[in-house]
Every structure is written in structure tokens, then in C-alpha cells.
Structure 1
Amino acid sequence: MKKNLMIKSIMLFAVLSITFLLTLTACGPSSKEDSISISGSSALLPLADNAAKDYMAKNAGSKISVQAGGSGQGLTQVYQGAVNIGNSDVYAEEKLKPEEAKELKDHVVCAVGIAAVVNTNVKVDNLTSQQLIDIFTGKITNWKDVGGDDMKITIINRPSNSGTRATFKKYALKGADEAEGMALKEDQSGTVKQTVSQTEGSISYLAFSYLDEKTKPLKIDGVVPTSENVANGTYPVWAYEHMYTKGEATGLTKSFIDYILSDEVQNNLVTKLKFIPIKDMKVKR
């Protein structure tokens, strides 16, 4: 009798222990994935931040923290495991070592144009490609040399970890090195916009998602910087927007990226914020 009671007690303990362990296993990943963090590209910040707010409103209990800091920072942090998603305007191979980039999974979520912008008191609205290069490399230093008023040109530039800078340098400046000594270094698109709006004679570059009445976008070779012109290949300065994960996305991370790629977001929020859905792009890189 005692022996049977002891066996039953042992069996009950074993069942309870297994049940407890299974509960921990089931709850562990989901509890961790109730909250994720995202950092990187300031160009992608408006979309990532607004989509995160919409997602959290639709999914109670989920918490998504979004910060900028530059594409290089986002890629480094997602590789190190400091964040769940690293946003970037450039491919990981352009910022990380080859062996590091191989560990990341690329999720291309949209495209975005990048425009040269000036302070609204600048009376120039079009530059040739060569004039743009000459301004950013310091060869042209006064707006009168490109048809404007006699006014000093002040370059507002970004640090080396900026994906927006890398894209602008590659496609607008044809790879030419900027005049670093003349540049004011700003690493947040919002700060760049504010600085240009407050600095007479200034010029910089912003993703379309930051364009408004505070700055004036310039045509390049007569082509207006619009999403339509990016999509049809007429306007050359643009980038894919990437959300990188370390390995395959899982849990809340995957759910959020899937939400960004859903028709609901692509057909509404993406275009509203002046990004271009991948399905609308008629050109590829």
C-alpha cells in the first residue's frame, strides 16, 4: 500500500514537473517577444515609428521601441544582438565585415527618394549634376555662381555611419568626397531639416519622408524629386529601405515585419509618408 502510494506520488511529481517545464518553454520566447527594439536609419524612422504605433494599437500587449541613429548603428546593433531589427538605407555588406553581414537576414520593405534641399531664402531651384557635385566638394562656394544671389553656401552634412549620406554620395555625387571641413555634421534627419531651415544659404539632403515647407527641394538636371519619378527611373537618387534581423525573423519581430509588408501598410502608410512600395518600382538595383 505504502509502495503504491509512493509510486503515485513520484508519478504525480513527475507530471507536475514536466507540465511546469513545458509551461516555461511555451511562455519564455513569447514573453521575450512581447517587446522588441528597432534602431538605425533616420530616413526609415517615420514609417517604422508610425507602423509600430498602429501595430501596437491593433495588438494589445505588444511593445515596439523605435529609434534612429544611422544605418551603420542599426546594422551594428542588430548584428551584436542589441536590437531585434536594424533599419538601413544601404546593404549590410556596405557597413559590416563580410562575415558579419552573412549572419543578417535582409527584409526590403520599400524604397525612398533622397533630395538635395536648401534654405527657403535660396533663389535657386535647379542644379545640374555637375553643379551639385561642385557645391558638395567645395569647388562652388557662393550661390551667385549657379544663378542665385551673392550668398555663401553652407553645407549641412552627416557622419560617416549615415546610410542617407552613402546613398547621396553614390548616386548624386557620383562617389565624389564631400568637403568635410566645410560641413556641419548632423546625424538625424529631423535635425538636418531644422538646421537647413534656420541657416541662411544652406544646402543638404533629406529623404522624401522629411520634405515639407521648411526646406526647398531642388531639381537635378531639371528632374523634380518625386516618388513617381523615382519609381519610373527618371530621378536617380534613391535607396531601398531594409529591415535586417540576425537570422530568420521570429515571433513579434516577424509579425511586425509582415505587417509592414502587408497591403494595408504598403497601400496606405507607405505612400502617405512619401515612401515607394516595392511593387510600384519600375526600376531595380
Structure 2
Amino acid sequence: MKRKGLKLIISALTITMTLGILAGCGNKQENKEESKKKAISGSITTLGSSALQPLVEQGAKQFMQKNPDATINVQGGGSGAGINQVVSGSVEIGNSDVTAESKLKDKNQVSSLVDHKVCAIGFGMIVNKEVKVNSLTKEQIQKIFTGEITNWKEVGGQDEKINVINRSKSSGTRATFKDTVMNGKDEKEGLGTTQDSSGSVVKAIGQTKGSISYVAFSHLNDEVKALKINNVEPTKENIIAKKYDFWSYEHMYTKGEPEGLTKAFIDYMISDEAKPLIERLKYIPASDIK
């Protein structure tokens, strides 16, 4: 009887263990299926600020490497275009150097958007490398862009005509320039030439003698010369120390709270994982601005 009872107990334990193993395998399979369901996939478009574009492009590249079923289409076009197109529903994310309030007159449109501050960015005055000037005061810059100063010799440079290269009126970079450097003054209408993107500004400055303009730090390179403003270097450190005020926050706007792929991508862009990329491309983590 004792042996029979022992055999029954062993058999019961064996059946229980087998059922447990089978249940565990079933749970693992269910978890795998659940993970597949939660895998990030789909396609979205993010459009707007050309100043923010290099960061968004590289961020999208890294994000898609981690999530091969996701597609992030990145386009420029300027801050105004970014805000207007996200309002209309043409794109999922609108990128801007300035707030939606400064671009939209309709308060209902403004309230329909959700602002995601990704980082901050500095801007610098740039000139053709042959210009013999290293620093300008804000007053001198204002007089150049309003047409009062037209020759570099008037600000300590060579006897050469100043060629102004501006951004289009929809540009967030131009709006930031007007607010922080021009102190709200309008540039002279029709003065110089206009470029639609930061990249085309840099190219034009490199090819045009006596030229001057402004771009984001992320677009500064050896083809142009960056100027000091009021004898202060255009650097991240001077922005953080509040010595240099030609900068702005970079915004990624969505129409309502983001969901799915849009939310996942924005969460990635503002995460600690993206911070090294932000710094490498000469942007400033928002957390560094006190």
C-alpha cells in the first residue's frame, strides 16, 4: 500500500511539473506574440526648421536602426511651414525655432498643438572668409540689415560693399534674429538676397565676396567665418552663462497628444539616449539651460 501511495504521489508531481513546463512555454510564446504586436512600425513625416533638420535627420536614422519597421521622413521648409502643415494635418510633426503663438493668429489653432521642446540651439553671424572683421556690435548689425551701413570700411574692415544674405520671412531663424539681434527692428525690404535654408545660406556666403548672414551653430563650418557679437564668442558655454543671447529653443509640435510611432520618436528625441547626438551636432540639451 505504501509503495502504491508513493507511486501515485510521484505520478501526480510529474504531471504537475509537466503541465507547469507546458504552461511556461505557452506564456513565453504569448509574450513573444505580444512583443510582436507592440513592435514600433509605420511611417510618419516631420517637417519644418532647417536649423533643427540635421538633428532630426540623424535622430531618425538612429531610431530607424533600432526599429527597422518604422519610417521617419524628414523634410525642411522652414519653421512657418512646419507649424502650418502640422496644423493642417499634412504632417505628424512640425519643427520650429519659434513658438506656434508667434506664427499663428488663430488661437484655436495654437491650442490644438502640443509643444515638445527637444533642445536649444545657438545662432551665429557669419561672413565670407575674406572679410577683415571679427566682431560686430548689435547696433552695427542692425544698421547693416536696415541698409544704413553698406561698406565694410564703416565697421573697421576693407573698402568693400556689404552683401546681405537674408532668410525668407517664414524662417524661424530669421524671427529669432529679429527678436534677439535686431531688437524687433525690421530688415530693409528688398535688401540683398534671400535663401530658403541654412545650408544654402552657408553655400552663398562661401561664394559671395563681402557677404554677411546668420545660421545655427549646427551649420557652422570652415567655408565661412563666424563673428563675435559685442565681442562675445558664439559658443554653447556663453549661451549657458547668459553672455550670448542669439539662441532659441527647438520645438517639435504635434496636433494633440502624440500616439504610436509619433510618440515613440519624440520620446526618443528627448531621452537621455539622444543627448550625446544633440551635443555632437552642436545643439544644447534643454536641461543645460537654467
Report the TM range for the smaller structure's normalisation: 0.7 to 0.9
2:11 corresponds to which residue? Answer: none
RMSD: 1.6
Residues 3-18 of structure 1: pairs in structure 2 closer than 5 A: none
The match for 1:122 among 131, 140, 146 is 131
Distance 1:235 1:74, change over 3 A: same
Q: Distance in 1 between matches of 2:247 and 2:152?
A: 25
1:180 corresponds to which residue? Answer: 189
C-alpha contact 2:236 2:284 (8 A) present in aligned 1: yes
Q: How many residues align?
A: 254
Structure 2: runs of 5 or more not aligned: 1-36
Distance 1:42 1:83, change over 3 A: same
| Mapped pair 1:139 → 2:148 | yes
2:7 corresponds to which residue? Answer: none
Q: Distance in 1 between matches of 2:247 and 2:107?
A: 24
Residues 49-64 of structure 1: pairs in structure 2 closer than 5 A: 49-64=57-72
TM-score (norm 1): 0.87
Residues 98-109 of structure 1: pairs in structure 2 closer than 5 A: 98-109=107-118
1:265 corresponds to which residue? Answer: 274
| Mapped pair 1:252 → 2:264 | no
SS of 1:205's partner is strand
SS of 1:130's partner is helix
SS of 1:254's partner is helix
Q: Distance in 2 between matches of 1:179 and 1:196?
A: 19
The offset of 1:232, in angstroms, is: 1.6
Q: Deviations over 1:65-106 (max 9, x none)?
A: 000000000000000000000000000011112211110000
C-alpha contact 1:30 1:251 (8 A) present in aligned 2: no
The offset of 1:33, in angstroms, is: 5.8
2:170 corresponds to which residue? Answer: 161
The offset of 1:45, in angstroms, is: 0.2
Regions of 4+ moved over 3 Å: 29-33
SS of 1:225's partner is coil
| Mapped pair 1:242 → 2:255 | no
2:18 corresponds to which residue? Answer: none
2:44 corresponds to which residue? Answer: 36
Q: Distance in 2 between matches of 1:68 and 1:206?
A: 14
For 2:278, give the aligned amino acid: V
User: Which 10-residue stretch deviates more, 177-186 or 167-176?
Assistant: 177-186
SS of 1:168's partner is helix
Structure 1: runs of 5 or more not aligned: 1-28
SS of 1:180's partner is coil
The offset of 1:159, in angstroms, is: 1.1
The match for 1:46 among 51, 54, 64 is 54
SS of 2:284's partner is coil
Distance 1:106 1:262, change over 3 A: same
C-alpha contact 2:40 2:70 (8 A) present in aligned 1: no
Residues 222-233 of structure 1: pairs in structure 2 closer than 5 A: 222-233=231-242
2:29 corresponds to which residue? Answer: none
C-alpha contact 1:33 1:253 (8 A) present in aligned 2: no
The offset of 1:180, in angstroms, is: 2.4
C-alpha contact 1:45 1:66 (8 A) present in aligned 2: yes
Q: Distance in 2 between matches of 1:75 and 1:182?
A: 27
Q: Distance in 1 between matches of 2:42 and 2:260?
A: 8
Q: Which has the larger radius of gyration?
A: 2
Q: Distance in 2 between matches of 1:161 and 1:200?
A: 26
The match for 1:212 among 218, 221, 229 is 221
Q: Distance in 2 between matches of 1:263 and 1:189?
A: 27
Q: Percent identity?
A: 53
Q: Distance in 2 between matches of 1:242 and 1:145?
A: 38
Q: Distance in 1 between matches of 2:136 and 2:158?
A: 14
C-alpha contact 2:78 2:170 (8 A) present in aligned 1: yes
The offset of 1:181, in angstroms, is: 1.5
Q: Distance in 2 between matches of 1:79 and 1:183?
A: 32
TM-score (norm 2): 0.85
The match for 1:83 among 69, 73, 91 is 91
